[in-house]
């Protein structure tokens, strides 16, 4: 039987996150720099000739209708294919953490089934499907660290130096919707858009400010959601404080409960609280599935 095994779905870190406004449909406009890290879920795909889509959880149980099955159905309908698939998922990236685990799984599913079903749909078409599933899915499909704007659909690749990071998730998760519906955040959605980062015609950035993103990308900016998250989920504040006690400058990633800090090469973490998920990660040069879909043209 035709199959694809051990297909990775890497997590991400938001190096900073600004809320820059809100569209008439209620979706928030964001600006962020997002980086791929080497913390991955693993998926397996087996071709089914009967058109059925089934899922098997190899670790923790997932919701019955998760983003992976939704992505598979979306691609199946878009392509009009009679193929189906059995998908097995081994979750390693925690949920409700702001690490993009579900979105990354969905992106990997789109790329893998595009190959398994011999569809050869271009990335632009997969990205349109992905954006309907979640704001982070187009980033994972793009395959590279990126400066991200809009609701997640405007991507400009950036190059980041290799580094190590401490990533900490407290026992509690944090639902994205709770953060974005919070009254405190609603009062700040008119925050000014960051200046000095306009794309030039070559797709690179002009970075000539003191302390610019280019010179120190891992310390730039802040996460606008952090104060709201600390109030909604005390574990976020506790994780920030613990990393601070290690002499690290920590911040929240995304809209979940995980926080992170750059970790010096010669430093090891000490005394993590019981029940916390603590991991040392490195950043990736590119997504492991780069090239699995054509990057230009349309069908």
What are the catalytic residues?
12, 136
Are 40 and 8 in contact by the 8 Å Cβ rule? The answer is: yes
The three-state secondary structure class of 246 is coil
Are 4 and 180 in contact by the 8 Å Cβ rule? The answer is: no
The beta-carbon contacts of 176-179 under 8 Å, at least 24 apart in sequence, are 176/96, 176/254, 176/255, 176/256, 178/232, 179/225, 179/228, 179/229, 179/232, 179/255
Task: State how far the alpha carbon of 256 is from the alpha carbons of 112, 170, 229, 236, in Å.
Answer: 27, 10, 8, 9
d(CA 145, CA 293): 18
Strand partners, 54: 86
Of residues 286, 248, 296, the one with CA closest to residue 269: 248
Task: Tell me phi and psi for residue 70, to 5 degrees.
Answer: -65, -40
Place of tokens 């130096």: 161
- How is 27-54 classified by DSSP, letter by letter? PEEEEEEEEEEEEEEEEEEEEETT--EE
Classify residue 296 by burial, with Cβ atoms within 10 Å: 0-12, 13-18, 19+: exposed
Classify residue 77 by burial, with Cβ atoms within 10 Å: 0-12, 13-18, 19+: exposed
d(CA 185, CA 202): 35
Q: Where are the alpha helices (DSSP H) in 49-136?
A: 67-79, 101-116, 123-133
């Amino acid at each position: 039987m035709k199959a694809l095994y051990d297909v990775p779905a890497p997590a991400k870190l938001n190096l900073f996150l600004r809320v820059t406004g809100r569209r008439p449909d209620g979706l928030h406009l964001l600006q962020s720099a997002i980086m791929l890290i080497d913390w991955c879920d693993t998926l397996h795909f087996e071709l089914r000739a009967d058109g059925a889509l089934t899922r098997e959880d190899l670790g923790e149980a997932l919701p019955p209708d998760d983003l992976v099955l939704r992505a598979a159905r979306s691609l199946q309908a878009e392509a009009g294919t009679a193929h189906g698939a059995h998908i097995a998922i081994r979750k390693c990236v925690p949920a409700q953490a702001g690490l993009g685990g579900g979105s990354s799984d969905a992106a990997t599913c789109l790329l893998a089934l595009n190959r398994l079903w011999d569809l050869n749909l271009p990335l632009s078409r997969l990205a349109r499907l992905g954006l309907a599933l979640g704001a982070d899915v187009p980033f994972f499909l793009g395959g590279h660290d990126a400066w991200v704007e809009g609701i997640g659909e405007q991507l400009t690749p950036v190059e980041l130096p290799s580094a190590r990071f401490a990533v900490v998730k407290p026992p509690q998760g944090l639902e994205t919707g709770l953060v974005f519906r919070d009254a405190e955040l609603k009062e700040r959605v008119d925050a000014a858009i960051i200046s000095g980062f306009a794309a030039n015609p070559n797709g690179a950035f002009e970075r000539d400010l003191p302390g610019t993103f280019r010179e120190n990308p891992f310390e730039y900016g802040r996460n606008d959601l952090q104060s709201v998250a600390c109030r909604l989920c005390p574990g976020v504040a506790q994780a920030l404080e613990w990393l601070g006690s290690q002499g690290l400058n920590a911040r929240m990633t995304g809209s979940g409960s995980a926080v992170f800090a750059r970790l010096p090469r010669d430093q090891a973490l000490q005394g993590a609280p019981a029940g916390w998920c603590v991991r040392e990660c490195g950043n990736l040069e590119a997504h492991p599935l780069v090239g699995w879909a054509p990057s230009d043209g349309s069908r």
